[in-house]
Chain A
Amino acid sequence: MKIGLEVHVALPTETKLFCSCSTNADEPNTSICPVCLGFPGSKPMLNDAALKSALTVAKALHCKINDNTYFLRKVYFYPDLPKSYQITQLDGAIGHGGYVDISKKRIRIRRVQLEEDPAKIIREDEYSLLDFNRSGIPLNEIVTEPDIETEEELREFVNELRSILYYAGVDINKEMKTDLNISLGEERVEIKNVTGIKNLVDAERFEVKRQGELISRNQKIPKETRAYNSETLSTISSREKESDEEYGFIYEPDLASYPTGDIVIPEVVIASDVARQLSSKYGLNEATVKELVMFDRHALGLVQYGLKRSNANRVINAIELLKRHGNITISDESFGKMLSYLDKGLLLNEDAIKSLQENRQVEIEKNTVSTKEIDKAILGIVAQRQDLVREYKTNSKAFNFIVGMLLKKYKVNPKYISERLAEVLKDKA
């Protein structure tokens, strides 16, 4: 099986790709102008921020950056396309020849290009509505080579790509639209416009099954474009002949060619690489570290800061704790303080963790508990409540009840309490 993707994501700019309309508008058709409506006489002007953002993504995907980037007109008629052509890129794209590494292989990136989003179509029963707020939103299209061969690789690639996009400043909570090219046989089948990750995997799964069955019946898989239906979890033929796709590309003569040499492109952290290196250096579980840092730049910062200063597992526990309390944005300095308490065998309760942000020394001091005290409390309860101790092996509620009692009193990391309690009970058994 061969899978190649064309992933479209919106770039994080204040204004549209070719005009100064805002990219944030709720009321339909309120963020529009002659340019993004394609009025006769209007001309596009390139948004420098979009160019820089696209370059950032391309570099993060290890692409070669074209010295000069230029645009093309892709001509087709559809009601959502105001000029009846989309300004997009091919040869003169932002970048080409990059890659994304996943655990067991390298997925090659063919091209990263900048293009404009068409308007949004809202389909009603008897008619359709058009919202041109979306017309001209800058999109990055990331085209892979057909290097993905399993569903697992697909998931891993998408996760990895999203992490890179996150670190490149892209809002990954916005809709991600993907064209999925998948072939089990000779011919390529393209599933257009799949929204989100779940649908992407479901569409892939359905196609694998569908194409697999055709092959087992010795039937030919026709080269075609299909659409995914998220209600039936299936793909259906769009009844467009592949050979009919004729976009008549020409150079976009309303835009210049843009030199990229003088643009300072920021370095983007590849979080999974960092997680891998740190895990092997400090003997941590790679999956745990990845889970923490892939989509959280604050967590990554604290991991890197903390590992230089304290016990590795303690650092990871502390960050998990901060995440749980929604306090991951604390400064390195505050985090350093937190680690120094932990190093001294003091646990921070909820109030202490909240005080870390503002660095209120007294509050923090007041709300720390020593591990010794907690150990003593555990032993106390175990001695008093033999009923629960007898039950704990058969009834998990009993165990949780004890943890709950202690948590209520100390409001500290439940992980520490449950680990210690388990140890104590094991000794008793």
Chain B
Amino acid sequence: MKGGIEEFLKTEKFEGYYEELIVELEKLNSKLHIFSNINKGLSTGLPFSVKDNICVKDVVSTASSQMLNGYTPPFNATAIERLPKEEFGFIGKTKMDEFGFGTFGINCKDHPLNPFDDRYVTGGSSAGSAVATAVLKHHISIAESTGGSISCPAAFCGIIGFTPTYGLVSRYGLIDYASSLDKIGVMGRSSADIRYVFDKIKGSDRYDTTCVDHPISKESRKKLVIIDQLMAGVDEEIASSFDRTIGKLQNIGYYVEHKSIPFIEKTIPAYYIASMAEASTNLAKFTGFKYGLKINDFSKGYNDFFTEARNNFGLEAKRRIVLGTFVRSSSVKSKYYEKALRLRHMMINALGVILKDGFIISPTMPIKTPTVKEAEDFDPVKEYSIDSITVPPNFAGLPHISFPSDYIKGMPVGTQIVANHFNDYALLDFVERWESQFEYRFKYNVGAL
């Protein structure tokens, strides 16, 4: 193991370290809106941050939603519980698109801004986690992806985002978006740091029955597969940057093959149907009287009471609740929800065949980082379509990493690499090889020793 974490943990002179770091971080936070809260009392360990939909005991955890205002879970998420206290110190909760609903990181109050240029979005939904990683010298963030919420902001903020195989990291303590798709993952500045943390948090958990102890392999692949349909809508500059990246990879011994999966284009609608169906049930519990936002007027009937409470969801959350409730209603269920599940199985099988002897590679995002203004003008369907490349591995529960591969006019560009289920270590090995001949750029190095 090499890199930031090991280096940091060996250092013993921390006098004044945290005070200075916190002052600097608060200054940056007022500019880039990274954290919803900062732990000012931090005094030991490597500072790590946590996406706001992952529970930290006795710390307000809201998933950036008004509905959860003041919700203070009485327990730690398993992933947090497993980080050794003597090595890691909790620095704060990071902002996100409300409940994870968003591609740009702008679906919340005072949303985060891009650390390379604050006119640009961070990507979402793990927006604050990506920014925190991009500004702190030695940092890892515990984040979460449902359909691309780790890859996308990692790409736009120039850091590494690792989404493990579904079921390798316990979801206990995660405020659910779509339980069959949600994966807790790690954002960091090097593959070594991510590996170090992943090894601490993975493994079965009696509190999450969908989490397993499965051997994780490191079967390296020399073949990199490009799926043609995924390249169809890619921006020209991104496409030529991707060609350069492929060139560099060929120089270090990889070769490329093209494959076609015609129905992969159906992944976006199928994913949104399945995820919204689950989300609309996961969000049903927010009714305004047990935790989070509380309505104190008990004079109404319970239906009116619930309606008033649930009016506090943001626009995108309301949209997904309504659509999700529709697609699982009995008259259309077979047309939408059940069909989406069938397509998911087809997708798992089709991708599995390719991943037997290769990795799938692509740009992480089909577009260059948009400005906040541009992102605000996207209509929902167009915004959903931007997830076309990050959704397939997420929908199939496959491990994937977005790593910085280029810089266009000073803004980072990410490349996404996908491996077969439980071949997570091979992905980290791949990125480590990439790092041996590519230098990541960071604009801030808060907390550098």
Which residues in A have some Cβ–Cβ distance to B below 8 Å? Answer: 34, 37-46, 73, 75, 77-79, 82-85, 127, 246, 248-251, 253-256
Contacts and interface: CB of A to CB of B under 8 A. Distances in A.
Nearest to B170: A43
Contacts of B333: 248-249
B208 A43 contact: yes
- Highest count of chain A CB atoms <10 Å: which of B281, B289, B298, B329: B281
Contact of A84 (B71, B287, B298): B287
Q: Residue among B175, B209, B298, B337 with the most chain A CB within 10 A?
A: B209
Q: Which has the most chain B C-beta neighbours within 10 Å: A38, A40, A73?
A: A40
Contacts of B209: 43-46, 254-256
A73 B277 CA distance: 11
B207 A249 contact: no
User: Closest 9 CB pairs between A and B?
Assistant: A84-B284, A253-B180, A253-B179, A41-B55, A248-B328, A40-B175, A41-B173, A83-B285, A254-B179
Contacts of B286: 40
Determine the interface band of chain B, counting residues with CB < 8 A from chain A: 35 or more
Given A77-B287, A246-B329, A254-B210, A41 B75 contact: yes
A250 B275 CA distance: 11
A156 to B, nearest CB: 35
Contacts of A249: 328, 330, 333
Nearest to B54: A41
A256 B171 CA distance: 13
Contact of B68 (A40, A42, A77): A40
A41 B144 CA distance: 13
Nearest to A18: B209
Contact of B278 (A83, A250, A256): A250
Contacts of B73: 34, 39-41
A121 to B, nearest CB: 11
Given A39-B291, A40-B175, A250-B337, A75 B77 contact: no
B7 to A, nearest CB: 33
B388 interface: no
A79 B207 CA distance: 26
Interface in B282-309: 284-287, 289-292, 298, 302-303, 306
B171 A75 contact: no
A185 B316 CA distance: 48
B172 interface: yes
Interface of B: 54-55, 61, 63, 68, 71, 73-75, 77, 171-176, 178-180, 206-210, 277-278, 280-281, 284-287, 289-292, 298, 302-303, 306, 325, 328-330, 333, 337, 341
A41 B77 contact: yes
A390 B55 CA distance: 89
Chain A binding surface SS class: loop
Interface centre among B61, B287, B333, B341 (most CB of A within 10 A): B287
17 contacts: A38-B285, A39-B73, A40-B55, A41-B77, A42-B172, A42-B173, A43-B207, A75-B325, A77-B284, A77-B306, A79-B302, A83-B284, A246-B329, A248-B280, A248-B325, A253-B180, A254-B209
Contacts of B341: 251
Contacts of A40: 55, 61, 63, 68, 71, 73, 175-176, 285-286, 291-292
Given A40-B73, A248-B333, 10 more contacts: A39-B290, A40-B286, A41-B54, A41-B55, A44-B209, A46-B209, A73-B281, A77-B303, A84-B281, A254-B210
A246 to B, nearest CB: 6
A44 B286 CA distance: 17
A392 B359 CA distance: 102
- Report whether over half of chain B's contact residues are helix, strand or loop; otherwise say mixed: loop
B290 A250 contact: no
B208 to A, nearest CB: 5
Contact of A82 (B71, B179, B285, B330): B285
Contacts of B210: 253-256
A250 B175 contact: no
Nearest to A254: B179
Contacts of A41: 54-55, 61, 73, 75, 77, 172-175
A254 B341 CA distance: 16
Nearest to B63: A40
Given A85-B281, A255-B209, A37 B55 contact: no
A85 B286 CA distance: 11
B213 to A, nearest CB: 14
Contacts of A75: 280-281, 284, 325
A39 B172 CA distance: 11
Contacts of B280: 75, 248
A250 B74 contact: no
A34 B75 contact: yes
Contacts of A34: 73-75
Contacts of A79: 287, 289, 302
A163 B174 CA distance: 44
Contacts of B61: 40-41
A81 B54 CA distance: 24
A259 to B, nearest CB: 13
Nearest to A45: B209
A255 B208 CA distance: 8
A254 B325 CA distance: 18
B338 to A, nearest CB: 10
A127 B61 CA distance: 31
Nearest to B341: A251
A43 B284 contact: no
A176 B325 CA distance: 33
A39 to B, nearest CB: 6
B171 A248 contact: no
A77 B337 CA distance: 21
Chain A CB within 10 Å, residue with most, of B77, B175, B207 = B207
Contacts of B284: 75, 77, 83-85
A285 to B, nearest CB: 52
Nearest to B173: A41
Given A39-B291, A77-B287, A250 B281 contact: yes
Nearest to B331: A246
Contacts of B291: 39-40
B184 to A, nearest CB: 12
A77 B305 CA distance: 11
A254 B178 CA distance: 9
A43 B63 CA distance: 17
A282 B191 CA distance: 80
A196 to B, nearest CB: 27
A350 B285 CA distance: 61
A320 to B, nearest CB: 50
B189 to A, nearest CB: 28
B158 to A, nearest CB: 30
Contacts of B63: 40
B212 to A, nearest CB: 9
Contact of A43 (B171, B277, B278, B281): B171
A161 to B, nearest CB: 30
A171 to B, nearest CB: 27
Nearest to B310: A77
A255 B211 CA distance: 10
Contacts of A39: 73-74, 290-291
Contacts of B306: 77
Contacts of B329: 246, 248
A28 to B, nearest CB: 15
A38 B283 CA distance: 11
